[in-house]
Structure 1
Amino acid sequence: MGSLGKDAAAAAGERVVLAVNGARHEAAGVDPSTTLLEFLRTRTPVRGPKLGCGEGGCGACVVLISKYNPATDEVTEHSASSCLTLVGSLTNCSVTTSEGIGNTRHGYHPVQQRLAGFHASQCGFCTPGMCMSIFSALVKADKPDGPALPTGFSKLTCSEAEYAVSGNLCRCTGYRPILDTCKSFAADVDLEDLGFNSFWKKGTDRADVGKLPEYSSGAVCTFPEFLKSEIKGQMNDIPAAIAGQDGWYHPKSIEELHSLFDSNWFDENSVKIVASNTGAGVYKDQDLYDKYIDIQGIPELSVIDRSSKGVEIGAAVSISKAIEVFSDGTPVFTKIAGHLSKVASPFVRNTATVGGNVIMAQRLQFPSDIATVLLAAGSTVTVQTASKMLRLTMEEFLEQPPCDAKTILLSIFVPDWGSDNVIFETSRASPRPFGNAVSFVNSAFLARTSGQLIIEDICLAFGAYGVDHATRARKVEEFLKGKSMSAPVILEAVQLLKDVISPSEGTTHPEYRVSLAVSFLFSFLSSLGNNQNEPESAKAIASNGSCANGYEKYGLVASDDLPVRSRQELVFSDEYKPVGKPITKAGAELQASGGRLCMLVTSLLPRIASMEHLSVAHTLMPI
């Protein structure tokens, strides 16, 4: 074993120190594969986060994770699935659960009070996760920069408030009261649109923000001062080449990472390389790993470089961060950001990395939306092997044999296509539009046209339809080059695509997937033809901004821009008073805080003599 391997092994006995709801905890002696959820429920008094799906798809386990940068004295927060997050990756982090923002001892938080008042809690299993998703959105929106907070509201918009819980599942409420709770914090909400609640009587009382539990930002400390002091005290310490805690190793450079690869103890069957571990929600680990290598601390993997040529993002950049980067850019970049926002749930995107998603597509044939979109955008990747560094197009990278464990994806470069004569569209079909739902088919199309809308160059990428990885429909591309859109051209292109898209044997619903791919292409090519034949009056409307995209003239509305809007009409009667009076359910706030106890009924059927007697024992147990 080399000296670096010895240092790592010696350091492996160090403890992970973290804060949970402001209290100091040490993860000493835990198995390296222990999740944060397991640690919270077995090593701390916390019971709010629940194990639902174990895949990051339901939101029952959502918590807020905060990190402190002593160099800038800044705290950053994000929601995360505690069922996927490994506790070994959280040294010097702070974890806040639903109990940490409000409880019976210190009083409930307005999020918990409004969830109760809008009748958004029934069985209560999912409520703490809902609570933390909303709280996380409020924390993110109410940072000091930006306009002042409206009295009683946050900086959230209604749309942002609705998306805050887009990954949380509830089997009881039908979501209406949950969305009402979210929107009650939004500055642009129409309070009269909010549904049945216990704060005012619908139809007779005036809706007033003053009747809602008062909200003020910054009331909850998400990162305790004692942990800041400990982190600052470590700044002058000279760290070992690799710090390790209970089987966890944290290289600080690509060189250190390759030194670990060269160590005698490295075995890809017992060592797992992770940045967030969200891939475990897709591919369940059959065996527990003995060692983990955390690559989050390698600066080369977290680079974000924007230039006139394009944007380069490191492989360890989170999907949420990539969305922020691409949102502020040219039309191609904003389309990429829009599609990425439909991938997974907010609390998964906050930790899942772009590089990890692409690596799963290349190595494990994961039906990735991101790989398809980046392929169509003409992206290139930088890969570090044991002997050399390679620069490959996304298509070349996906077609390579599956990468081994020692091949590292360093970064992804997306060129800037500008905004002149470039059309870029993405599509996906999945069981649900948001949240953890893998696509049946995804696609991304980029076309560069001349002034006469003749296609000069085009890329048609399809994925998830039953092949190993995203591919380009090159025969269709060659056919379309040099042509302008007309009905015969579109129909011939569609027919050609049917011959090109061929799901592999064993793919479920192959005809359906092919029909989806065809419909995506037809819609894209038709839009090119519509742009060519669009009346001048419609173009004028779109250009002067009086009607977005000119849709209103034709009675069409862009569905992606539709928020959830409805009005709840109630008819009251005193005939059965007080039945029908809006009363907050007893224990709803306690459920939202994670402190609710579940009444379990156990039945005993002892046979005494010749008679059967039913003995029922009621036991209070935390869930």
Structure 2
Amino acid sequence: GQINQPSTEISTTHLVFSLSHSVLMSLTLFINGRKRVFNQNELDPKLSLLQFLRKSGLTGAKLGCGEGGCGACTVMLSSYDAENKKPVHYSANACLTPVCALDGIAITTVEGIGSMKEGLHPVQQRISAMHGSQCGYCTPGIVMAIYTFLRANPNATPHEIESSLDGNLCRCTGYRPILDAARSLSNNKESHAPPAGCCKGNGGKCPCAETLKVESTTDSFLHNNSEDSILAGKSLQESLNAVSRSEPIFPPELTHYEFKALEIVSNGAKWFQPITLESLLAIKAEYPTAKLIVGNTEVAIEMRLKAFEYNVFVNPSHVKELCVLETTEGGINVGAAVTINGLRSFCGKVEDQMEKVGKPYLTRGLRAIKHMLTWFASNHIRNVACVGGNIATASPISDLNPMLLASNAVLTIHSASKGARQLPIQEFFLAYRKVALEADEILVSVFIPYTSEFEYVLPFKQARRREDDVSIVTAGMRVRLAPKPTGSAGVAGWVGGGGPL
């Protein structure tokens, strides 16, 4: 009979990888301070961090909704910011996060900060003491959400703390004792939310507050025993110092960790982590149906709740062209892999810069985007979900896309066969979840132009609840006023969730 010889054919992907960079077949990460290295036969590209942790015996993180909405699975992820030379801590939903996406990342779970055996962490102790837990199912996620935010923002105001918990649900306690416990650990207990207006306000001021001689309407609440406990409570750092304890350090090895191209092939699925645009385009050319994964906030839900089947995944988070955040003379460039919170923060920085140079009108569009993104999903989702994924998914109730349409954004798209092209975002959306992106093309970046002196961009959103909810209707509107009676004026608006007209 015929003897089958082993194939010697080399794929385009492997060729590009081998010519430019060494390819790793293993994953390095830290879990609660312990270094773990996994070979590809120990991993599954479809495995979530939550599944991985619970299989490893770390069962503090819980499975609740499985779609990033309840926060029961919240953990802290830490990476090293080489530009600013410091670790960055952020919360994430373990139920959505692929374990293969965590190369070079430190993971901290609730077991890693304290236990009954080793001693409770101040966050755990304070929630218990101030009655912030009843059934306890959601408590590990809430503990990690508070812990992560206060570790990254020790001087957070009560308003900021409350906003950071918008992705954690509790059906037992109500939220007041949880928020009280979190607030009592801050270095900034007595700060208040931004001054509130009222129905009879004049220019945003509140005559009620002025009559009471307080800074905002929130100050008129009577102080009670809970308020006294908040103000008397030691801050997080003071609580640690009182028991001669310090926070777990960021792994020193990760401060000089060199990211390399990664390929994991296991259980009939493939996971690629390219580090150059060239190799990313080569992978997409060879695997046109491959799913690009950054936050995995869409694909994970499709696979879990809609029974979609995907077998090739690509993580472009280390391709520099997709991570750019820069200002230009006419606007800002935003890489497709930049997170929603990354864009939101950058818009705020550019807004401050233009305010200082006396041109605040340039950032009216960015200000509108920043405001809309405040209500985009939850803090845990915004920490990992990326701009490009939100655009390419083309959800009709996207919070971001109407704002980019109203801002006249321009997309930069690449492919290995055709090179780069630019496309106004108004030409990108063709139909329901259908976009002008060829199978081998990648959305690389988005250019958001500044607004002119007489131009205004406004965001609108209606949902069933204020935080962490999909929109019923979302809209972005751009208005251009005529600078002179003979000048031109115009108005344009884009609505999502409204159905065909």
TM norm. shorter chain > 0.5: yes
Shift of the 88–176 alpha-carbon distance from structure 1 to 2, 3 Å rule, reads same
Shift of the 181–12 alpha-carbon distance from structure 1 to 2, 3 Å rule, reads same
Out of 3, 10, 28, the residue aligned to residue 17 of structure 1 is 28
**Paired residue secondary structure (1:278):** coil
Give, in angstroms, the shift of residue 201 of structure 1. Answer: 8.7
Give, in angstroms, the shift of residue 302 of structure 1. Answer: 0.7
Give me the whole-angstrom Cα distance separating, in 1, the residues matched to 2:94 and 2:188.
32
Give me the whole-angstrom Cα distance separating, in 2, the residues matched to 1:51 and 1:114.
24
Give, in angstroms, the shift of residue 126 of structure 1. Answer: 0.6
Task: Give the structure 2 partner of residue 2 of structure 1.
Answer: 10
Give, in angstroms, the shift of residue 279 of structure 1. Answer: 1.0
The letter of the residue matching 1:367 is I
Shift of the 222–127 alpha-carbon distance from structure 1 to 2, 3 Å rule, reads farther
Give me the whole-angstrom Cα distance separating, in 2, the residues matched to 1:392 and 1:313.
15
Task: Give the structure 2 partner of residue 41 of structure 1.
Answer: 54
Give me the whole-angstrom Cα distance separating, in 1, the residues matched to 2:162 and 2:83.
35
Task: Give the structure 1 partner of residue 418 of structure 2.
Answer: 387
Task: Give the structure 2 partner of residue 448 of structure 1.
Answer: 480
Q: Greater CA deviation, 22-31 or 290-299? A: 22-31
**Paired residue secondary structure (2:489):** strand
Give, in angstroms, the shift of residue 21 of structure 1. Answer: 0.7
Give me the whole-angstrom Cα distance separating, in 1, the residues matched to 2:147 and 2:385.
20
Task: Give the structure 1 partner of residue 201 of structure 2.
Answer: none
Deviation digits for residues 445-491 of structure 1, max 9, x if unmatched? 12121357997122211112225xxxxxxxxxxxxxxxxxxxxxxxx
Contact in 2 for aligned 1:60/1:126 (Cα 8 Å): yes
Out of 280, 298, 301, the residue aligned to residue 279 of structure 1 is 298
Give me the whole-angstrom Cα distance separating, in 2, the residues matched to 1:351 and 1:413.
21
Q: 1:391-406, aligned counterparts within 5 Å?
A: 391-399=422-430, 402=435, 403-406=437-440
Residue 97 (structure 1) aligned with residue 109 (structure 2)? yes
The letter of the residue matching 2:48 is T
Task: Give the structure 2 partner of residue 374 of structure 1.
Answer: 404
The letter of the residue matching 1:2 is I
**Paired residue secondary structure (1:249):** strand
Give, in angstroms, the shift of residue 250 of structure 1. Answer: 1.4
Contact in 2 for aligned 1:156/1:185 (Cα 8 Å): no
Q: Greater CA deviation, 52-61 or 421-430? A: 421-430
The letter of the residue matching 2:373 is L
Shift of the 120–450 alpha-carbon distance from structure 1 to 2, 3 Å rule, reads same
- Equivalenced residue count is 433
Give, in angstroms, the shift of residue 394 of structure 1. Answer: 1.1
Contact in 2 for aligned 1:84/1:281 (Cα 8 Å): yes
Give, in angstroms, the shift of residue 222 of structure 1. Answer: 4.8
Out of 110, 114, 131, the residue aligned to residue 119 of structure 1 is 131
Give, in angstroms, the shift of residue 157 of structure 1. Answer: 0.7
Give me the whole-angstrom Cα distance separating, in 2, the residues matched to 1:16 and 1:24.
11
Residue 60 (structure 1) aligned with residue 72 (structure 2)? yes
Give me the whole-angstrom Cα distance separating, in 2, the residues matched to 1:212 and 1:314.
38
Shift of the 281–32 alpha-carbon distance from structure 1 to 2, 3 Å rule, reads closer
Residue 412 (structure 1) aligned with residue 473 (structure 2)? no
Give me the whole-angstrom Cα distance separating, in 2, the residues matched to 1:273 and 1:375.
23
Shift of the 167–261 alpha-carbon distance from structure 1 to 2, 3 Å rule, reads closer
Give, in angstroms, the shift of residue 52 of structure 1. Answer: 0.6
Out of 372, 375, 385, the residue aligned to residue 339 of structure 1 is 372
Give, in angstroms, the shift of residue 175 of structure 1. Answer: 1.0
Give, in angstroms, the shift of residue 184 of structure 1. Answer: 1.8
The letter of the residue matching 1:221 is P
Contact in 2 for aligned 1:9/1:244 (Cα 8 Å): no
Task: Give the structure 1 partner of residue 312 of structure 2.
Answer: 291
If the length of structure 2 is used for normalisation, what is the TM-score? Answer: 0.78
Larger radius of gyration: 1
Shift of the 460–293 alpha-carbon distance from structure 1 to 2, 3 Å rule, reads same
Q: 1:215-234, aligned counterparts within 5 Å?
A: 215=239, 219-225=246-252, 227-228=253-254, 232=257
Task: Give the structure 2 partner of residue 108 of structure 1.
Answer: 120
Give me the whole-angstrom Cα distance separating, in 2, the residues matched to 1:438 and 1:416.
28
The letter of the residue matching 1:370 is L
Task: Give the structure 1 partner of residue 278 of structure 2.
Answer: 255
Give me the whole-angstrom Cα distance separating, in 1, the residues matched to 2:406 and 2:482.
19
Residue 88 (structure 1) aligned with residue 100 (structure 2)? yes
Q: 1:573-612, aligned counterparts within 5 Å?
A: none
The letter of the residue matching 2:399 is D
Shift of the 366–404 alpha-carbon distance from structure 1 to 2, 3 Å rule, reads farther
Deviation digits for residues 529-564 of structure 1, max 9, x if unmatched? xxxxxxxxxxxxxxxxxxxxxxxxxxxxxxxxxxxx
Give, in angstroms, the shift of residue 110 of structure 1. Answer: 1.5
The letter of the residue matching 2:427 is E
Give me the whole-angstrom Cα distance separating, in 2, the residues matched to 1:312 and 1:201.
49
Question: Structure 1, unaligned stretches of length 5 or more?
Answer: 142-153, 195-199, 468-501, 503-623
Q: Greater CA deviation, 57-66 or 304-313? A: 304-313
**Paired residue secondary structure (2:400):** helix
Give, in angstroms, the shift of residue 425 of structure 1. Answer: 1.6
Task: Give the structure 1 partner of residue 356 of structure 2.
Answer: none
Shift of the 444–207 alpha-carbon distance from structure 1 to 2, 3 Å rule, reads closer
Contact in 1 for aligned 2:275/2:319 (Cα 8 Å): yes
Deviation digits for residues 16-35 of structure 1, max 9, x if unmatched? 12111111223442221000
Give, in angstroms, the shift of residue 280 of structure 1. Answer: 2.6
Shift of the 425–203 alpha-carbon distance from structure 1 to 2, 3 Å rule, reads closer
Task: Give the structure 2 partner of residue 325 of structure 1.
Answer: 346
**Paired residue secondary structure (1:66):** strand
**Paired residue secondary structure (2:88):** strand
The letter of the residue matching 2:311 is D
Task: Give the structure 2 partner of residue 77 of structure 1.
Answer: 89
Task: Give the structure 2 partner of residue 305 of structure 1.
Answer: 326
Question: Structure 2, unaligned stretches of length 5 or more?
Answer: 1-8, 193-217, 352-362
Shift of the 396–203 alpha-carbon distance from structure 1 to 2, 3 Å rule, reads closer
Task: Give the structure 2 partner of residue 316 of structure 1.
Answer: 337
Deviation digits for residues 564-598 of structure 1, max 9, x if unmatched? xxxxxxxxxxxxxxxxxxxxxxxxxxxxxxxxxxx
Give, in angstroms, the shift of residue 249 of structure 1. Answer: 1.5
The letter of the residue matching 1:274 is I
The letter of the residue matching 1:14 is M
Deviation digits for residues 67-88 of structure 1, max 9, x if unmatched? 1356764312211111010001
Q: 1:158-557, aligned counterparts within 5 Å?
A: 158-190=158-190, 202=225, 208-210=231-233, 214-215=238-239, 219-225=246-252, 227-228=253-254, 232=257, 242-246=261-265, 247-263=270-286, 266=287, 268=289, 271-284=290-303, 286-328=307-349, 329=351, 330-361=363-394, 365-385=395-415, 386-399=417-430, 402=435, 403-418=437-452, 420-435=453-468, 437-450=469-482, 456-467=489-500, 502=501
Give me the whole-angstrom Cα distance separating, in 2, the residues matched to 1:339 and 1:396.
22
Shift of the 204–417 alpha-carbon distance from structure 1 to 2, 3 Å rule, reads closer
Give, in angstroms, the shift of residue 188 of structure 1. Answer: 4.5
Give, in angstroms, the shift of residue 433 of structure 1. Answer: 1.2
Task: Give the structure 2 partner of residue 561 of structure 1.
Answer: none
Contact in 2 for aligned 1:379/1:415 (Cα 8 Å): yes
Contact in 2 for aligned 1:80/1:348 (Cα 8 Å): yes
Aligned alpha-carbon RMSD (Å): 3.1
Percent of residue pairs bearing the same amino acid type:
31
Deviation digits for residues 284-327 of structure 1, max 9, x if unmatched? 35355433221111111111111231111010000000000111
Contact in 1 for aligned 2:155/2:188 (Cα 8 Å): no
The letter of the residue matching 1:167 is G
